[in-house]
Every structure is written in structure tokens, then in C-alpha cells.
Amino acid sequence: EDQVTQSPEALRLQEGESSSLNCSYTVSGLRGLFWYRQDPGKGPEFLFTLYSAGEEKEKERLKATLTKKESFLHITAPKPEDSATYLCAVQAIIQGAQKLVFGQGTRLTINP
């Protein structure tokens, strides 16, 4: 079964305490892996797209990496404004159609 699993479900860090979020997937025909940020009551905001194993992308304090079975979102020296839910999604061919399959998200809280 095509599946995307994120861990941990929730993570609480102190400001400046670096960590990583995990996204593991079991889909065939992967066309892309996406990371989104979602603030409460708002729609997901695009962060990164990764296409192939070994690829890395960075934006400010965030860095996303991709292997054949999982992706990591590394957060370096986070600030309180980085608090949000981070969603991982994979775009793949499922039952003959292109679909975007989401993980359940990691709720990140950065304490000042």
C-alpha cells in the first residue's frame, strides 16, 4: 500500500536547539517529494521539492534531504517563528493517476 509516515507526531524544542523531522514513504513511481509548512487555520505553504536520492535543498534554517526511502527536514538553530506543522507529501503514480499522498504531519513547537 502506498504510504507516507512522518515522525515524530509532535516535537518541542528550545530556541537554538537543532533537530530533524523524518518522512518515510513506500510508493512506487515517485515523481517528487514535497515539504510544506502549515500554520494553524491556514493552508499549506510550499517549502521544498526533492526529485531524486541524494538531493538536498536549503532555505534559511531549513534543509531537506532525500534518500530512496525517506526524507529529513533538518532545522538548525530554530526560532519561535519556526513553530508550525510540517507536512511531507509524495507525488506518485497510483492506480494509473498522478496523486499527492500526504503524511500526517509533525507539529513543531519552539520555546523561547
Partner 1 sequence: DGGITQSPKYLFRKEGQNVTLSCEQNLNHDAMYWYRQDPGQGLRLIYYSQIVNDFQKGDIAEGYSVSREKKESFPLTVTSAQKNPTAFYLCASSLTQGAIGYTFGSGTRLTVV
Q: How far is the CB of 104 from partner 1 (least distance, A)?
A: 5
Q: How far is the CB of 77 from partner 1 (least distance, A)?
A: 28
Which residues are paired to 66 by β-bridges?
71
Q: Which is nearer to partner 1, 17 or 45 (CB)?
A: 45
105 binds partner 1 (CB under 8 A): yes
The residue within the footprint of partner 1, chosen from 87, 92, 108, 110 (CB under 8 A), is 87
Angle, CA of 69, 83 and 44, to the nearest 5°? 60
Q: How far is the CB of 27 from partner 1 (least distance, A)?
A: 13
CA–centroid distance for 41 within its chain: 19
Task: Name the segment binding partner 1 (CB under 8 A); options: 12-20, 45-53, 56-64, 65-73.
Answer: 45-53
Q: Which is nearer to partner 1, 33 or 75 (CB)?
A: 33
Contact positions toward partner 1, by CB under 8 A?
4, 9, 31-32, 34, 36, 41-46, 49, 87, 89, 91, 97-105
